[in-house]
Amino acid sequence: MKVLLQNISSILLVMALLWGAGSLHGPLLDSRREYQLDHTEPLENAPPLVVFSTVALGGFSGIIADILWMRAAQLQREGQYFELMQLSDWITKLQPRFADGWVYHAWNLAYNISVQFLSPEDRWRWVRQGIELMRDGGLRYNPANPMLHRELGWFFQHKIAGTTDQAHMHYKHAWAMEMDRLLGGPRPDYDTLEQTPSRRAKIMDMPGMRELTDKLRRERFEPFSHEWPENPRWPEMLAILESDEAGKTLLNHM
């Protein structure tokens, strides 16, 4: 009888613990979604290859990626770098949540392949490809992954700002030229930028801002998107922003 009571007590205790653990499941999932740690979330606006690999292929995408990894190693040994670049893009899109894959291929482009070329222009092309792969690809699908942020920062600190690469001065100049084109001139107006509110709530309270953001949304422009320059209609959007003071303030805020 005593043993039976002990068994029943143990079963009740296990059931209570399981119920307690289950009650925490919902809040944990909410926290994972809030901090963008959930790898099962659907990929929004993903290219067809990513959607196909993550939805249709399922577990088979890993097998295909392994085959492409072996092919990529062979291409690198043979010096077929342009085909390798396309293969790297396929591999990372077959496994978009695999952060190590993004780091490896971006590092390979920016470090291992770039130094195979003597021309600073050619080297910069590969360094830039590595940066774009990690920034526009890896961080798009893994925005909260600290490793990707750290590695991207290392590219800028070591590869561009550093002096170990013989072509480092060309990298610095090329990046400065890109920033000039992005910011619309050789030197931003730092005084105006400093006076522009950095908080979105304060920006929205400024005169004409709500009317401007409504107008942008009617034109299918997201007012607070960091992907403005990538939009094919960016010149059209820029014309709207520069047409009044609220638009110029929004540009400075972004």
* Token pair in block for residue 143: 């925005």
The answer on pLDDT for 223 being more than 70 is yes
Alpha carbon distance 63, 142 (integer Å): 21
Phi-psi region of 251 (alpha: psi -120 to 50; beta: other; left: phi over 0): alpha
The answer on pLDDT for 70 being more than 60 is yes
pTM: 0.54
Residues 28-53, mean pLDDT to the nearest whole number: 55
Q: How many alpha carbons lie under 13 Å from residue 243 in its C-beta half-sphere?
A: 12
CB 72 within 8 A of CB 87: yes
Q: What is the pLDDT of residue 10?
A: 77
Placement of tokens 């007590």 in the chain: 9
For the ranges 74-83, 92-101, 107-116, 147-156, the one whose mean pLDDT is highest: 147-156
Can you point out the beta strands (E) in the chain?
A: none
CB 254 within 8 A of CB 222: no
The answer on pLDDT for 162 being more than 80 is yes
Residues 64-80, mean pLDDT to the nearest whole number: 75
The CA distances from residue 129 to 10, 75, 133, 136, in Å, are 60, 17, 6, 10
* Token pair in block for residue 198: 């950095």
What's the mean per-residue pLDDT of the chain?
80
Instruction: Residue 25: count other Cβ atoms within 10 Å of its Cβ.
Output: 9
